[in-house]
Each structure stands twice: as C-alpha cells, then as structure tokens.
C-alpha cells in the first residue's frame, strides 16, 4: 500500500513538474514577446519625441510629416544630385550652398531643413499664444482648402495614410497632417503680421527703430546688398577684344549693350537680364571666384567699378567681368509691399534668432531621431 502511495506521489510530482515547466516556458515566451513589443513600441511609436523647442515636443508622426511633406518633396532636389529612389541617408550630399559643407548625407541636410522649419513654427505659435494674438478665419480656410485639394486626387477605396504613402513616401495620417497644417498656417500668419508691422514686432519680440539700426550696423556683412551686371565668356584669343571692351565700358548702359551684342542665344536681349539687383553679400554665390565676391563686398567698392577674374573649367579659362551698378549698402525697397524696408527685415531675422536663443532651449532626441532614421521610407 505504501509503495502504491509512493508511486502515485511520484506521478503527481512529475505532472506538477511538467505543468510548472510548461507554465514557466509560456510565461517566458509571454515576457519575451512583451519585451519585444515594448522595444517595437518605443522604436515605432508615433508618440516618441524627436525634436523639442522649449516645452513643446514634436512627436515622431509630426516630424515625419514635416520631413516628407515640406522638406523632402518640396522641390526637385534631383537637379542637385539627389536620387529619390534611394535612402537619403545612404547618399553623399552634393548640393553646394552657403553653410552646407557640414552635411555628409542628403538625409542630414533634410533633417536640418526640418528642424529649422519646426523651430520657427513652434516659436511663432508659442509667442502668439503668450501674447494673446488672435487668428483670423483665413487661417482655418487655408487649412481646409489644402486638405480639400489633397483629397480631390485620393481614390475612395484608398485610405488616407496609403494615399500619403504613395504620394509623399510616408503613411501620414489625416489627423497628423491636420496638426502639421495648423502649426504651419498659424505660424505663417503670425510671422507675416509681425514682420510687416514694426509696432507688432516690437510688441511680441521687442525692437524699436534704434534697435533695427544698431542690429544693422552690427551685421552689415549679412544684411548689406549690392547690385551688379555680370558677364562671363571663354578667355581666349578669339574673345580677347570683347573682354577688353567689357573691362573698359564707360557706363552700365554700355556694359549692358555689350552683353547683348556678345550673347548669341538672346540671353541678354532685355535691359535687366545681365543685372543682379540687390543681392545680399552673404549670398553672392552665383560667382565662381571669391576674388570678385570680395571686391563687391568691399566698403571701398563704388558704382561704376569694373572687376575681372577668371577660373578653370573643362580645361578652359573662363573670364568673369562685373560692373558695379550700386555699391554695398542698405536695400531700401519695401519688404513685401509693407512699411518694413528690406534692411529692417534682415535685422528682424537676426533679432528673432536672438529672441529664440534667449527664450527657448532647442533639443534633438537621440533616441527619437534614430527611430526616425531607422523607419525611413524611400519615396517611390
């Protein structure tokens, strides 16, 4: 009897052990699955913060929307060497412009554009809210009209996110796009109002007429503009006489007339087509040589001066000749047909950057940006 009880006890223990092992295995699998889900959720969650301006967080879904909707597809980057059929993070950056030498890939460049855009939008929205600014119905109308225009091309059977995936390369939800458009149009309206009205700018940001002038004087190399006529041609024996004539033109009208005469493809058939008017000194990147850029930027430069330089291209020497129409100084043209002059608008931009630095901490989340990069979709 005792043996039977002992045998029965062993069988019960064996079953209990098997059950415990099963439960333990199942629990382990559940835990592994749960950990995996948590990792997936943290990485792919649209609520993961990517970018932060002050107390305002930009979640991954809105960041993605801005990156694709506004930056990646905003213009034909292919003309600058970008291949839209490949990941932007796997392509060496090939666009040349002021301040772009720090980017290694197109993806990094698009991120920078996205970050700058979001920074301005959030600072404008926040400043407007703190100052009690009231938006007009026009803002909501713009949001509604853009959504309506988008939906016109969407087929009924296709979901909104699938439509955005096919059109913009990312599965953007309608709710996310509305959040982005609200931020975009509200900030654009507020920015337009304060930069077209000096009293409003002073109220919300700070800046009197004296502040504009002092900011201009401190940043003349960024704000000053210059106007010039420009012509280039191959520097060889055949063109030697033409180059000498351009270098010794007695007036801008004579220089412009020579441009028309020497150009065979009718590029300079109109009076203003050899004229670069009110070009900011920091953006004189249309010229191939730094020599002329430095001459145009010089405080010694004056109207009527003619500058010559050359550079090598395709084993040929190319001559650049520039006639100074207006030496560096303030651009007095009104900005956007408002009371604000162009030079004052330039000062506003610098003052707005100073205001942002003083009032907002700007951060990019390493975890958030990594998750965004990992999930990048190549637009098709």
Rg (CA), the chain: 31
Lowest mean pLDDT across 106-110, 127-131, 272-276: 272-276
Residue 380 has a pLDDT of 57
Q: CA nearest 230: which of 250, 251, 256, 248? A: 256
Residue 343 domain flag:
no
User: What pLDDT shows up at residue 343?
Assistant: 96
Pair (189, 139) in one structural domain: yes
- 329 or 152, higher pLDDT: 329
Q: Which residue has the higher pLDDT, 23 or 331?
A: 331
With respect to residue 219, please indicate whether it lies within any of the assigned structural domains. no
Residue 288's pLDDT is what?
Answer: 55
User: What pLDDT score was predicted for residue 368?
Assistant: 95
Residue 43: the pLDDT is: 41
**Do residues 194 and 81 both lie within one domain?**
yes
Q: What's the predicted TM-score (pTM) here?
A: 0.78
Q: Which domain holds residue 283?
A: 225-329
Q: Is 115 within the bounds of a domain?
A: yes
> What percentage of the chain has pLDDT greater than the value 70?
84
Give per-residue pLDDT as tens, 313-327.
Answer: 889 999 999 999 999
Residue 234 per-residue DSSP state: E
pLDDT confidence band for 269 (50 / 70 / 90): low
Residue 100: closest CA among 74, 87, 82: 82
Lowest mean pLDDT of 10-14, 183-187, 307-311, name the range.
Answer: 10-14
* 76 and 195 inside one domain: yes
State the Cα–Cα distance between residues 377 and 161, nearest whole angstrom.
13
Beta bridge partners of 58: 51
pLDDT tens-digit profile of 62-72?
999 999 988 88
Pairing of strands 316-329, 49-53: unpaired
- Please check whether residues 63 and 156 belong to one and the same domain: yes
Confirm whether 309 is domain-assigned: yes
Residue 276 near residue 230 (C-beta atoms within 8 A): yes
Q: Stretch 225-243: mean pLDDT, rounded? A: 93
The whole-number pLDDT of residue 376 equals 86
Asked whether residue 84 carries a pLDDT value surpassing 80, the answer given is yes
Q: Is the pLDDT of residue 91 over 50?
A: yes
How far apart CA 109 and CA 72 sit, in angstroms, is: 10
Considering the domain architecture, whether residues 141 and 199 belong to the same structural domain is answered as yes
Whether 93 and 229 map to the same domain: the answer is no
At 266 the pLDDT is 58
Strand order in the sheet with 316-329: 275-280, 225-234, 316-329, 306-313
Per-residue confidence (pLDDT) for residue 2, from 0 to 100: 43
Q: What is the mean pLDDT of residues 149-156?
A: 81
Stretch 223-232: mean pLDDT, rounded?
Answer: 92
Residue 232 included in any domain: yes
What is the predicted pLDDT for the residue at 261? 85
For residue 289, the model assigns a pLDDT of 62
Report how many domains make up the chain: 2
Task: Confirm whether 54 is domain-assigned.
Answer: yes
CATH value at residue 264: 3.10.50
Tell me what the pLDDT averaged over the chain comes to.
Answer: 85
Residue 277 resides in a domain: yes
* Per-residue pLDDT at 20: 46
Four-CA torsion 141, 144, 146, 151, nearest 10 degrees:
-150
Q: How confident is the model at residue 268 (pLDDT cuts 50, 70, 90)?
A: low
Q: Taking 80 as the threshold, does the pLDDT of residue 46 lie above it?
A: no
Q: What angle do CA 70, 60, 52 make, to 5 degrees?
A: 90
Q: What percent of the chain has pLDDT over 90?
A: 57
Compute the distance between CA of residue 300 and CA of residue 297 in angstroms, rounded to an integer.
Answer: 9
- Domain membership of residue 43 (yes or no) is no
SS3 call for 298: coil
87 and 169 in a single domain? The answer is yes
| Residue 33 pLDDT greater than 90, yes or no | no
Q: Are residues 193 and 245 in the same domain?
A: no
Per-residue confidence (pLDDT) for residue 3, from 0 to 100:
41
Q: Which of 71-85, 265-279, 290-304 has the lowest mean pLDDT?
A: 265-279
Per-residue pLDDT band for 280 (boundaries 50, 70, 90) equals confident
Measure the CA–CA gap between 123 and 10, rounded to whole angstroms: 73
pLDDT of residue 12 exceeding 80, the answer is no
Tell whether 86 and 192 lie within a shared domain.
yes
Instruction: Decide if pLDDT at 61 tops 60.
Output: yes
Confidence (pLDDT) at 5: 45
Specify the pLDDT at position 145: 94
In this structure, are 179 and 141 located in the same domain?
A: yes
């Amino acid at each position: 009897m005792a043996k039977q009880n002992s045998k029965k006890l062993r069988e019960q223990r064996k079953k209990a052990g098997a059950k415990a092992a099963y439960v333990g295995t199942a629990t382990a699998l559940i835990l592994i699955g749960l950990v995996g889900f948590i990792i997936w959720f943290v990485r792919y969650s649209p609520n993961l913060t990517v970018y932060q301006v002050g107390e305002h967080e930009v979640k991954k879904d809105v960041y993605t929307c801005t990156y694709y909707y506004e930056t990646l597809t905003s213009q034909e980057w292919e003309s600058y060497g970008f291949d839209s059929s490949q990941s932007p993070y796997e392509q060496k950056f090939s666009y040349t412009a002021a301040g772009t030498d720090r980017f290694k890939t197109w993806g990094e460049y698009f991120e920078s554009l996205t970050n700058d855009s979001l920074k301005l939008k959030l600072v404008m929205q926040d400043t407007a809210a703190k100052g009690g600014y009231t938006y007009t119905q026009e803002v909501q109308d713009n949001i509604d009209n853009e959504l309506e225009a988008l939906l016109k091309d969407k087929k009924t059977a296709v979901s909104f996110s699938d439509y955005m995936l096919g059109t913009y390369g990312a599965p953007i939800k309608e709710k996310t796009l509305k959040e982005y458009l609200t931020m975009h149009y509200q900030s654009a309206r507020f920015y337009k109002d304060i930069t077209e009205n000096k009293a409003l700018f002073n109220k919300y940001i700070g800046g009197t007429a004296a502040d504009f002038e002092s900011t201009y004087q401190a940043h003349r190399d960024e704000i000053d503009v210059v106007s010039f006529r420009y012509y280039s041609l191959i520097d060889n024996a055949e063109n030697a006489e033409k180059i000498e004539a351009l270098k010794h033109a007695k007036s801008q009208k004579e220089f412009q007339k020579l441009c028309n005469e020497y150009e065979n493809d009718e590029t300079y058939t109109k009076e203003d087509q050899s004229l670069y008017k009110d070009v900011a000194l920091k953006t004189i990147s249309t010229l191939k040589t730094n020599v002329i850029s430095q001459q145009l930027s010089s405080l010694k430069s004056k109207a009527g001066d003619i500058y010559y330089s050359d550079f090598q291209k395709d084993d040929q020497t190319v001559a650049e000749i520039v006639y100074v129409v207006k030496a560096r100084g303030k651009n007095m043209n009104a900005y956007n047909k408002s009371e604000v002059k162009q030079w004052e608008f330039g000062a506003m931009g610098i003052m707005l950057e100073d205001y942002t630095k003083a009032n907002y901490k700007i951060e990019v989340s390493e975890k958030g940006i990594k998750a965004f990069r990992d999930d990048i979709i190549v637009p098709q």
